[in-house]
Structure 1
């Protein structure tokens, strides 16, 4: 898992190829294999993910690994637009009474909706998870079928999942903006804020993105300030909340404001490395390498998290762009050193 954290996926995959022959806990082995394939999918290394899956299918002693790994493979096929292949694999495991994960089913539902096959999606995945309502609601809104979208929304509101309901409200809000009915959109937003005494980060981030996308900057900053005030509650503020507004500042050329937001936010989020990675990437994109180095060094100095390979890669690419080859090589070498130091610190803590 350490190699996955660092996104050293080639080394992780090689270990996983050997792990399937171990006599240890089969569930732990299977979960490790799933994590590696899913990481490859996230990195868009689809061919490598498929190869590893086929290797497991032919070499693993137990069907457990193949059964569990089917889910990230289905999601990968959906990512690539290979919807019929994904459905075929899903049906194959379903007939063996091995239903893939709800994440895979949501990916299939989204793929069907995107392909204009919304009725088929509802027929197959209607009761998978409350999150599927958002997929169907957005699909009907995109088709202009407001009546059907609202019907699903009213069904969703009968649940006790206020966060999912709020996320669906953001979809209606965006729909009205697309129709150039700004007053209706803002009415939808304000009524959602009144209806729900607590809006968690996932839904609040959705509102933030819509407000910024449609030029409601003042309202977006007010919402962000309110979220920041509650940032000690991890469910109400996360690294994505920070990154959304940091990105907005960079977009406007307000670099100092971006750094100020980062400093106010990073100590409160549960995954600060994601906020560091985003800020470092933004500096590199703006050719502000000295600023990127400053925050990269700060990130490396932290005790309980470390840069992952995408962050190292960002720094390496920036050095190469500037012709600083020795610094690029040094950064590559730091990846291994960081992993060893991280393991050592974990051992000391234990």
Structure 2
């Protein structure tokens, strides 16, 4: 029985026969001479119009009776258009070209991909009520699909169905269906497929297979199986190609059990798995890190006499490296060679990448040399990992050498490699910052748009050399190009200006960071706190000149106020940062910072309380304040909190009042009255 099943599986499935074109009109011998003469006149005669007039005056055949033969035999669309335009201007009604002749011209124009002329002819035929033949319209649809103009092909498909009342042939329909699936327009493809099935002769086994493959790519495997069952015996006989699509679909969905079950089922039904089938299973098991199952499948392939191709070995090696397995390069290459397979450049690239990942640059270089000796052509994926690792190791000279070798061979660096090289050169010091700038310029010339990492690397380089002015200009160029600086970018600049004592500048970048919803980290906070506490005198003395340089800073304003009110420097610094965070609706980040300051022995005070309550109210979380912030304040501390809350209230748009201020006044009613207004008494723990 199993032998019978095996034999049956080898029988090729039935397909619908290709649609038969209309029987050609008989071609009398004297027509051959006439067609040949017309083509020669169109091709060679300078006064071809007169020559055509003379030639047709000598015969009884009208232009309309011979034109389609000419269109079918010329290869130059210009010749066909010349004859069409000449015939269109003739006064004899017998010479006017009919729909059949125009359809022949349509095929010629579509074959040569002159779609502007195709559209012009279709419009003219529409105006003259000339319908293109099914064959011609099918030909045009296929040509549009082949050229990637799928939307227009779809429009013509609907025109054929809805206006001309005949569907395109199965070849055109399948081409359109396949293109829609490739563009992931599965819903549109499903509608086209359903229309194809409704019309007998417009679909075949391949149509079903295309649709099944599309559904499986979208991980809708069950619908794909149902589609096969619905068409079984109705012109569709599933073969191994169907099973391959289904198995692949299960793997893409991560359904290991069903993929394995279906693989066993197809063998039990007598279908012979192909190299592609095993490749799908091996690739799936590799992603699942089931390397023992992979070994069993390799043995099974050999037993069935199937050759294991290099793509299968590449999948295995790539998976082993990605899963962190230890790879012995020599042993791996010997294993591939001994199994009768030749490693390709992808094999070497994968191994080079793995060696670079492990920091084994010498081994990676040897692999590159070995690939070249074997006649393989290295590409950017061969060089890029080496450039990356050399940059990380600070060996920028060698990285540049590889860069030049790579570009000389016609393999320009990709964006990531450029970024790595720029970063490596910046990290190497100031003779290399210049090199980085040159490389950056070359990168822009080659129309690579530098990313955030590349810009940030340059900014870091300028900051390290004390050139904060160029760092700031690079930052502005980065924003002008439409890129959003990240936390590293802002932190580098904040750190640079803080160390230079330009604390107002640092605070402006901090507030810009918050305005752009970029969340600071511990390094950012450390730079700011240290910058404020180490530059108190500068921060206060620069107040008069600050408005001339930069926009007034919220953080600096509160820091100066707190210093003036007698707050200890670090407490004033932390509170100023807390106020900024809360004002920009980052209360959760502010609470994390509050916990950090507490762990360092700087305990929350009335200003911390006012800032956090203000922030919670801004975020619409006023009902959470009792569970989020402590309220153990005495009478005078309440008054201090109220005064700072009133100052925060001034930051709101005119006419609005923070709910925090209302809460404070309610709290004040519960403490002893007769508090003198503006009687600021700083808690002893926070006095200077």
TM category (shorter chain) comes to: 0.5 to 0.7
State the number of aligned residues: 258
Query: 2:213 is matched with which residue?
Result: 135
Change (3 A) 1:173 1:336: closer
- Superposition TM-score, scaled by structure 2 size: 0.31
1:275 paired to 2:347 = yes
Greater displacement, 243-252 / 282-291: 282-291
Instruction: Between the two structures, name the one with larger relative contact order (CA 8 Å, sep ≥ 6).
Output: 1
1:165 paired to 2:259 = no
Change (3 A) 1:211 1:271: closer
Change (3 A) 1:284 1:92: farther
Does the 8 A contact of 1:140 with 1:146 survive in 2?
Answer: no
Query: 2:151 is matched with which residue?
Result: 88
Deviation, 1:264, is 1.8
Deviation, 1:102, is 7.4
State the distance in 2 between where 1:153 and 1:140 align: 20
Deviation, 1:280, is 1.6
Query: 1:243 is matched with which residue?
Result: 314
Deviation, 1:259, is 5.6
1:223 paired to 2:294 = no
Query: 2:359 is matched with which residue?
Result: 287
2:308 counterpart SS class: coil
Greater displacement, 285-294 / 265-274: 265-274
**Structure 2 gap segments, 5+ residues each:** 1-74, 76-110, 116-139, 160-167, 197-202, 411-688
User: Which deviations, in whole Å up to 9, do the C-alpha atoms of 1:236-279 show, x marking residues without a partner?
Assistant: 42222112211232244332357634432257446712211222
Counterparts in 2 of 1:83-122, with a 5 A limit? 87-91=150-154, 106-114=178-186, 116-120=187-191, 122=193
Deviation, 1:149, is 3.8
Match of 1:331 among 402, 406, 425: 402
Query: 1:18 is matched with which residue?
Result: none
Does the 8 A contact of 2:178 with 2:210 survive in 1?
Answer: yes
Change (3 A) 1:108 1:140: closer
**Structure 1 gap segments, 5+ residues each:** 1-25, 27-61, 75-85, 340-350
User: Which deviations, in whole Å up to 9, do the C-alpha atoms of 1:95-140 show, x marking residues without a partner?
Assistant: 9x9x9997885342243455x4452252478656675144245168
State the distance in 2 between where 1:311 and 1:176 align: 31
Query: 2:334 is matched with which residue?
Result: 263
User: Which deviations, in whole Å up to 9, do the C-alpha atoms of 1:190-218 show, x marking residues without a partner?
Assistant: 23345567533322121123334456543
Change (3 A) 1:272 1:203: same
Query: 2:443 is matched with which residue?
Result: none
Change (3 A) 1:245 1:145: same
Change (3 A) 1:141 1:336: closer
Change (3 A) 1:158 1:301: same
- Superposition TM-score, scaled by structure 1 size: 0.55
User: Which deviations, in whole Å up to 9, do the C-alpha atoms of 1:6-37 show, x marking residues without a partner?
Assistant: xxxxxxxxxxxxxxxxxxxx9xxxxxxxxxxx
Does the 8 A contact of 1:208 with 1:223 survive in 2?
Answer: yes
Does the 8 A contact of 2:216 with 2:248 survive in 1?
Answer: yes
Change (3 A) 1:272 1:320: same
Match of 1:302 among 369, 374, 380: 374
Query: 1:321 is matched with which residue?
Result: 392
State the distance in 2 between where 1:258 and 1:271 align: 12
Report which of the two has the higher share of helix: 1
Match of 1:192 among 266, 271, 275: 266
Q: What's the C-alpha RMSD, in Å, of the aligned pairs?
A: 4.7
Does the 8 A contact of 1:137 with 1:168 survive in 2?
Answer: no
State the distance in 1 between where 2:400 and 2:154 align: 47
Counterparts in 2 of 1:10-29, with a 5 A limit? none
Whose Rg is larger?
2
Does the 8 A contact of 2:243 with 2:266 survive in 1?
Answer: yes
2:183 counterpart SS class: helix
Does the 8 A contact of 2:372 with 2:378 survive in 1?
Answer: yes
